[in-house]
Amino acid sequence: MNYQTLKWMIENFIKTYKCPWCWSSANDSLVDIIGAAWNTINIDIECPNCKKHSMIKAEVAQIDINNINIAKDKISHIKNILESIVSTKEGKETKIQETIQDSEIVNLSKDLKSRRLKVSDLFWAEAEQNSEQN
Protein backbone atom coordinates (compact mmCIF):
# COMPACT_ATOMS: atom_id res chain seq x y z
CA MET A 1 0.00 0.00 0.00
CA ASN A 2 1.44 3.37 -0.87
CA TYR A 3 1.87 6.18 1.62
CA GLN A 4 -0.97 8.36 0.30
CA THR A 5 -3.47 5.51 0.57
CA LEU A 6 -2.32 4.68 4.08
CA LYS A 7 -2.49 8.33 5.13
CA TRP A 8 -5.97 8.73 3.62
CA MET A 9 -7.24 5.58 5.37
CA ILE A 10 -5.97 6.68 8.77
CA GLU A 11 -7.23 10.27 8.43
CA ASN A 12 -10.69 9.11 7.39
CA PHE A 13 -10.76 6.46 10.07
CA ILE A 14 -10.02 9.05 12.77
CA LYS A 15 -12.69 11.40 11.37
CA THR A 16 -15.42 8.75 11.31
CA TYR A 17 -14.60 6.41 14.19
CA LYS A 18 -16.98 6.24 17.15
CA CYS A 19 -16.26 4.10 20.21
CA PRO A 20 -18.64 1.08 20.16
CA TRP A 21 -19.13 1.35 23.94
CA CYS A 22 -19.66 5.09 24.54
CA TRP A 23 -19.78 6.64 21.03
CA SER A 24 -16.92 9.06 21.72
CA SER A 25 -14.88 10.32 18.78
CA ALA A 26 -11.35 9.17 18.11
CA ASN A 27 -8.29 11.06 19.25
CA ASP A 28 -5.34 10.70 16.87
CA SER A 29 -2.85 10.57 19.76
CA LEU A 30 -4.51 7.32 20.93
CA VAL A 31 -4.34 5.53 17.56
CA ASP A 32 -1.56 2.94 17.20
CA ILE A 33 -0.75 1.17 13.95
CA ILE A 34 -0.10 -2.43 14.95
CA GLY A 35 0.82 -3.62 11.47
CA ALA A 36 0.49 -2.88 7.79
CA ALA A 37 1.16 -5.17 4.85
CA TRP A 38 0.16 -5.00 1.20
CA ASN A 39 -3.39 -3.63 1.24
CA THR A 40 -4.24 -4.27 4.92
CA ILE A 41 -3.68 -2.25 8.08
CA ASN A 42 -4.29 -3.24 11.71
CA ILE A 43 -5.02 -0.43 14.15
CA ASP A 44 -5.46 -0.33 17.93
CA ILE A 45 -7.41 2.63 19.24
CA GLU A 46 -8.01 3.61 22.84
CA CYS A 47 -11.17 5.56 23.57
CA PRO A 48 -10.31 8.91 25.18
CA ASN A 49 -13.51 8.72 27.24
CA CYS A 50 -14.02 5.14 28.50
CA LYS A 51 -10.40 3.96 27.89
CA LYS A 52 -11.52 0.74 26.18
CA HIS A 53 -9.50 -0.55 23.21
CA SER A 54 -10.76 -1.47 19.76
CA MET A 55 -8.81 -3.47 17.22
CA ILE A 56 -9.58 -2.46 13.65
CA LYS A 57 -8.54 -4.21 10.46
CA ALA A 58 -8.96 -2.14 7.32
CA GLU A 59 -8.33 -3.27 3.77
CA VAL A 60 -8.21 -1.52 0.42
CA ALA A 61 -9.74 -3.50 -2.42
CA GLN A 62 -9.97 -2.67 -6.10
CA ILE A 63 -13.20 -3.56 -7.80
CA ASP A 64 -14.06 -3.18 -11.49
CA ILE A 65 -17.73 -2.27 -11.13
CA ASN A 66 -18.25 -2.11 -14.90
CA ASN A 67 -18.25 -5.92 -15.11
CA ILE A 68 -20.83 -6.43 -12.39
CA ASN A 69 -24.48 -6.98 -13.24
CA ILE A 70 -25.77 -3.73 -11.71
CA ALA A 71 -28.11 -1.26 -13.38
CA LYS A 72 -26.21 1.23 -15.59
CA ASP A 73 -27.66 4.29 -13.84
CA LYS A 74 -26.31 3.03 -10.51
CA ILE A 75 -22.87 2.44 -12.03
CA SER A 76 -22.84 5.99 -13.40
CA HIS A 77 -23.87 7.35 -10.00
CA ILE A 78 -21.09 5.43 -8.22
CA LYS A 79 -18.56 6.50 -10.87
CA ASN A 80 -19.49 10.18 -10.41
CA ILE A 81 -19.08 9.93 -6.64
CA LEU A 82 -15.69 8.22 -6.97
CA GLU A 83 -14.48 10.81 -9.51
CA SER A 84 -15.54 13.57 -7.09
CA ILE A 85 -13.56 11.93 -4.31
CA VAL A 86 -10.46 11.65 -6.51
CA SER A 87 -10.81 15.29 -7.62
CA THR A 88 -11.10 16.46 -4.02
CA LYS A 89 -8.16 14.28 -2.97
CA GLU A 90 -6.00 15.75 -5.75
CA GLY A 91 -6.72 19.26 -4.48
CA LYS A 92 -9.02 20.36 -7.26
CA GLU A 93 -11.85 22.72 -6.44
CA THR A 94 -14.50 20.05 -7.01
CA LYS A 95 -16.42 19.36 -3.81
CA ILE A 96 -18.41 16.26 -3.06
CA GLN A 97 -21.99 17.45 -3.03
CA GLU A 98 -23.57 14.09 -2.47
CA THR A 99 -23.40 11.64 0.35
CA ILE A 100 -24.55 8.07 0.32
CA GLN A 101 -27.94 7.86 1.95
CA ASP A 102 -29.17 4.94 4.04
CA SER A 103 -31.90 4.36 1.46
CA GLU A 104 -29.28 3.94 -1.29
CA ILE A 105 -27.50 1.25 0.71
CA VAL A 106 -30.82 -0.53 1.30
CA ASN A 107 -31.67 -0.28 -2.41
CA LEU A 108 -28.27 -1.68 -3.39
CA SER A 109 -28.76 -4.54 -0.94
CA LYS A 110 -32.19 -5.29 -2.44
CA ASP A 111 -30.71 -5.13 -5.95
CA LEU A 112 -27.96 -7.59 -5.03
CA LYS A 113 -30.49 -9.95 -3.40
CA SER A 114 -32.84 -9.78 -6.39
CA ARG A 115 -29.96 -10.94 -8.58
CA ARG A 116 -29.03 -13.55 -5.97
CA LEU A 117 -25.67 -11.88 -5.39
CA LYS A 118 -23.72 -11.25 -2.23
CA VAL A 119 -21.14 -8.54 -1.70
CA SER A 120 -18.44 -11.21 -1.90
CA ASP A 121 -19.64 -11.98 -5.46
CA LEU A 122 -18.43 -8.53 -6.46
CA PHE A 123 -14.89 -9.65 -5.70
CA TRP A 124 -15.30 -12.99 -7.50
CA ALA A 125 -16.37 -11.22 -10.69
CA GLU A 126 -13.02 -9.43 -10.85
CA ALA A 127 -11.08 -12.62 -10.07
CA GLU A 128 -12.91 -14.50 -12.83
CA GLN A 129 -12.23 -11.72 -15.33
CA ASN A 130 -8.53 -11.72 -14.46
CA SER A 131 -8.30 -15.52 -14.86
CA GLU A 132 -10.04 -15.32 -18.24
CA GLN A 133 -7.55 -12.71 -19.45
CA ASN A 134 -4.61 -14.93 -18.47
pLDDT tens, residue by residue, 59-108 = 877 766 666 677 777 777 878 887 777 666 555 554 444 566 777 777 77
Beta bridge partner(s), residue 53: 46
Q: What is the pLDDT of residues 41-61, one digit of tens each?
A: 899 999 999 999 999 888 877
Average pLDDT over residues 27-31: 88
Percent pLDDT > 90 in the chain is 15
**Nearest to 6, CA basis, from 47, 43, 46:** 43
